[in-house]
Structure 1
């Protein structure tokens, strides 16, 4: 379908992180999804963002199944019908939409394939807006380095995730943003926790809003331990692990000003 994630995009090699288990590799324009066919959700997504040439594009595109997969290997429209679950973009719609208008539009519309979605509790509040804006914050920080960022995002796929309509709804999501800093590769890791919002105790039950999303900046080594994804190259570049960085553990984020870069 396209060339997918570019490991050389930042000017220093950054391989696509992979989990230990088997996944389906799905390249799209400027991003790649590694799909876990048993969970029917992405184990990893990876996108290259050129902030200097991002296009402001109208929202176009309809959610659709990827014909490279069987329908029972992806989480399709039946999971999102008649409830309060959102089709949450993993690779954001605008992130691959850079460069000349035509390829930017094609890349943006490709984010509407179901392998790039995961069920998220509906509704927007300050914490979720912060989560969705993390790439923008990192792009602004990386302005002196050509505004190029590679971002990796996925649900934390745990055996304890609650069952719902033939899938298990993930309660946490992770994101790692990487850029080229003055001293080489730099990266920051984040976790979104929606545990307080999701109630699937009854099959076919709507998922109500029960509280706020919680967003944390976390050591990337903790994300690797949570997910089983090989993040070694990013762990070594973690801004929380650099010499002189204060011990933060899991740092709750209320605004972008709380982010350590």
Structure 2
């Protein structure tokens, strides 16, 4: 398949609505809580770093006087977006494992967010049937993760994850395995008295990303998880990177040569360098804080992760 060309999108296998919800329906979204795990050790939303001049801002009528104008708040999670790519830079979520309602039905209705410029939100281009080489709308904050608390709040959180602001192009085969199991594994190893986890997820956006269907596609994604470790009682963070290069269609006349492991635990300092975001608060808590940014540990399952120093 030639990069930048291919079959038309055709019928979309996922439900998509063009009409956004009314702006006033978002008035109760509190977003990501930096003090969610430990009130005296806040974990801020990642800073914009080198993306400071490229952030998508909220429309004037949607701005919260107490916000920074670029944090897009949902139920139990928040998103920052890059205008030049029309993709999220990160999605940060609070998970309360003791109040989880992960069995909720899947709403499966993708939509734009009326609080930001619709031109910064790609709802359809490049997305569609996997067997045509098109991409899935891959959740950054997982559908199940913010679904906790009272039933009506959990249902709202689940539906909120289907905003296109919380999605990036992913091949269907990529979106599984360790990527989905890591949060559950960390919750199993968290302090049972404080069964809370913060998960921040994002794509690694590069000027060299390949182009399919007129869109640059990120070749790798990252996660940072912060939690109170059951053994040490300390606030701890780990970093994870996953490549989807093996799942991407080959460019015309050749194949990709890519040296990174598909799944690896990496220093959060490396994620900061690659993502361009300010992750200093998490790097200080990293179990790999003493490692070189070039260090990576190949993992075959969630159980291979180092959760303490």
Q: Which runs of 5+ in 1 are unaligned?
A: 203-212
Question: Equivalent residues in 2 for 1:4-83 (5 A)?
Answer: 4-11=31-38, 12-20=41-49, 21-22=51-52, 23-24=55-56, 25-55=71-101, 56-82=103-129, 83=132
Following TM superposition, where does structure 1 have runs of at least 4 consecutive aligned residues deviating by more than 6 angstroms?
Answer: none
Between structure 1 and structure 2, the one with the greater Rg is: 2
Query: Is there any run of 5+ residues in structure 2 with no aligned partner, and where?
Result: 1-25, 57-70, 253-260
Q: How far apart, in 2, do the equivalents of 1:28 and 1:114 lie?
A: 12
Residue 204 of structure 2 is aligned to residue 160 of structure 1? no
Contact 1:75 1:167 in 2 (8 A): no
- CA drift of 1:236 comes to 0.7
Aligned length: 247
CA distances 1:91-120 after superposition (whole Å, capped 9, x unpaired): 000000001111001001100000101011
- Residue aligning to 1:209: none
Matched with 1:206 is none
Q: Provide the C-alpha distance between the structure 2 equivalents of 1:114 and 1:200, rounded to a whole number of angstroms.
A: 26
Query: TM-score scaled to structure 1, two decimals?
Result: 0.88
Kindly report the root-mean-square deviation, in angstroms, between the aligned alpha carbons of the 2 structures: 2.2
Does the 8 Å contact 1:153/1:174 carry over to 2? yes
> What residue number does 1:3 align with?
30
Residue 207 of structure 1 corresponds to: none
Q: Tell me if 1:236 matches 2:284.
A: yes
User: Relative to 1, partners in 2 of residues 1:124 and 1:165: Cα closer, same or farther, differing over 3 Å?
Assistant: closer
Pair 200,66 (structure 1): closer, same or farther in 2 beyond 3 Å: farther
Distance in 2 between residues matched to 1:10 and 1:257, nearest whole Å: 23
Q: CA deviation at 1:248?
A: 9.8
User: What secondary structure, in the 3-state scheme, does the structure 1 residue paired with 2:278 have?
Assistant: coil
Within 5 Å, give how 1:218-233 maps onto structure 2: 218-233=266-281
Map 1:88-99 to 2 at 5 A.
Answer: 88-99=138-149
